[in-house]
Amino acid sequence: MTTLGTPTTGETPAIRETPDALGTPGTLTGPITGPITGAEQALQAACDHLIGLRSAEGWWKGELQTNVTMDAEDLLLREFVGIRTEEDTAEAARWIRSEQRADGTWANFHGGPADLSTTIEAYAALRLAGDPPDAEHMRAAARQVRDLGGIEASRVFTRIWLALFGEWEWRDLPVMPPEMIYLPSWFPFNVYDWACWARQTIVPLTVVTAYRPVRPLPFRLPELRTGLRPERARRGGWEAAFGALDKVLHRYERRPARGLRRAAVRRAVEWIVARQEADGSWGGIQPPWVYSVIALHLAGYHHDHPVMRKAIGGLDRFTIRDEKGRRLEACQSPVWDTALAVNALLDAGTPADHPAVTGAADWLLREEITRAGDWAVRRPALAPGGWAFEFDNDGYPDTDDTAEVVLALRRLDRTGIRPAVERGVRWMTGMASRDGGFAAFDADNDRALITKLPFCDFGAVIDPPSADVTAHVVEALAKERPHSLALRRGVVWLLRAQERDGSWFGRWGANHVYGTGAVVPALVAAGVRPWHSSVRRAVAWLEHHQNDDGGWGEDLRSYRDPSWIGRGASTPSQTAWALLALLAAGERSQAVERGVRWLVGNQRPDGTWDEPYFTGTGFPGDFYINYHLYRLVFPISALGRYLRRDGTPAGPEAP
């Protein structure tokens, strides 16, 4: 536990741990007399199911489900570079059709509203698969597209895909010239001002837009047009200035400096090739992968070039085939899932020498990052360390995964663990931003001016500190560096980031339930007392937002519409997040009891839970994820901590 005293001049402000009107020591809530009947059996069944999902190599990986743009763009990519097969097309089309809703549209998450651009891309892919435009499901989709504003109202990325096939004019797209690759790292709008996922997407797109290729499809898409340009809101300030800059860049695009343009494209291509991962991907995620393939293809890289062979072949690893068809994961999360699984099993009381735990630890040790990546541009003196999200993403470790791996490994006694944990903690600590918070991939990647560019109409493009990531790092530092300045500054950052209603915003999970579920355990681990006003306010917020059925849920629409904050159908993962916060706060309340009863009562016979709702976040407001292992690992942690808070044995025995 860290000592949180009075600061001297120039230090961060003190954290006051005095009771207030929301609660006093010893009178937090009414007691629970004992464990809920069936909780032990539910936990045992869940642990058995989780252990049964472990791979032979020691890792866990649940499906990372997103939306059908992954599959539509995969078919369009294969069409563009000339590698599309009838088999892949038919299987992907079957999956895309299965996700169409009754009104003819496609959404970006289960139960969400229709998404115009997703529907356009899905429709184009089905036309590519041979679905006739007069088929009922296609007529319904086209009608909805027109009602939502047509191609003219779609996002920039969708119009780039359409431009590749002659369905949109390149001159009507915002300009991102490849010459930006020459901007130094201190200059505004250089590639390192973008978040890691964005810079790996933007650089290949600058190459693509420099070539402005057009390869017409065997059909046109007039049925998706309204003939009207959407009305643009009157812009002022920086948006107006950047609109004027875009006009200047358009004039330059008509007559670029030829020598400079050729050199810039060459430099950008070299930048792309240098960042290809061992599995053939870029960043282990779909957007930079597909655009990098197109950029290299346009730059003259043939299908049999080693870089292209690895890139195209690597997509198979991200492909899932089942009775519904063929679909792609936008990313894969084995390191994250494995760390969460180990922590869950240990929370449940699984012995540290259980083969599932030790095998996972050995695998995680082999996944440690040992070389510098783009993060070193902002932290050149920092030695490498930590862990990434994916199997082979050695260029982009992140503080979130590193924190969870540290929390898992430090609980074990295995050869090589302490040095790896020390390196990870050192790297993670060195990635603190200037304000004391932690972002996922970079430090001080918070130049919001870049978000005003006309190109940036979809997805997060910077990586500023967030409450959930900072909380995970704080929790790890509380265990490993309990007296460090980095911990103290992280705690102060979290206290300042609390919302007025008592919750915390969740950047990488949905949403305030996720943020609050991460922050409260971190604050308590760092020495903030359960009766501190911030903790009491968070508890009150969680109790107020508990559903009538005893669970918790928050719809992803809360990122755009505040009326959805804390509201949504109960889900296993979100119920577990709320319970983890309440348990960390010392709650022995009816809210806890009802939440545990919800988990026990909604468990499937095989030990897991159903969770069709998406509770993970890629880009707040735009792109969401259903982590298929969340429905299992977080309930295990919650049930385990619930049953073991008084020393009650729980969890499977070692064989």
Q: Report, as residue numbers or ranges, the catalytic residues.
A: 400
Name the H helices within 53-180. Answer: 69-81, 86-98, 116-128, 136-147, 156-164
**Paired residues of 534 in beta bridges:** none
The span from the CA of 137 to the CA of 125, in Å, is 13
Kindly state the tokens that stand for 302: 């043939």
Task: Provide the pairing of β-strand 325-328 with 319-322.
Answer: antiparallel
Q: Which residue has the tokens 């590698």?
A: 83
Element (H, E) at 65: strand 64-65
Q: Which residues of 170-206 are buried (b: 16+ CB within 10 A; e: fewer)?
A: beebbbbbbbbbeeeeeeeebbbbbbbbbbbbbbbbb
Q: Is residue 564 within 8 Å of 503, Cβ to Cβ?
A: no
Kindly state the tokens that stand for 22: 């929301």
Half-sphere exposure of 274 (CA within 13 A, CB side): 10
Which of these, 465, 412, 459, 456, lies nearest to 438 by C-alpha position?
A: 465
Cβ neighbour number for residue 303 with a 10 Å cutoff: 12
Q: How far is CA 201 from the centre of its chain?
A: 16
Strand order in the sheet with 64-65: 64-65, 623-627, 616-619
Q: Is residue 443 within 8 Å of 378, Cβ to Cβ?
A: yes
Q: How far is CA 242 from the centre of its chain?
A: 29
Q: Is residue 141 within 8 Å of 125, Cβ to Cβ?
A: no
Q: What are phi and psi of 624, to 5 degrees?
A: -130, 165
User: What three-state secondary structure class fits 57?
Assistant: coil
Q: Measured in Å, how far apart are the chain's first and last C-alpha atoms?
A: 35
435's CB contacts (< 8 A; 6+ apart) are: 465, 493
**Paired residues of 509 in beta bridges:** 616
Kindly state the tokens that stand for 204: 């290949």
Kindly state the tokens that stand for 283: 């960043």
Which of these, 103, 124, 123, lies nearest to 112 by C-alpha position?
A: 103
Cβ neighbour number for residue 643 with a 10 Å cutoff: 23
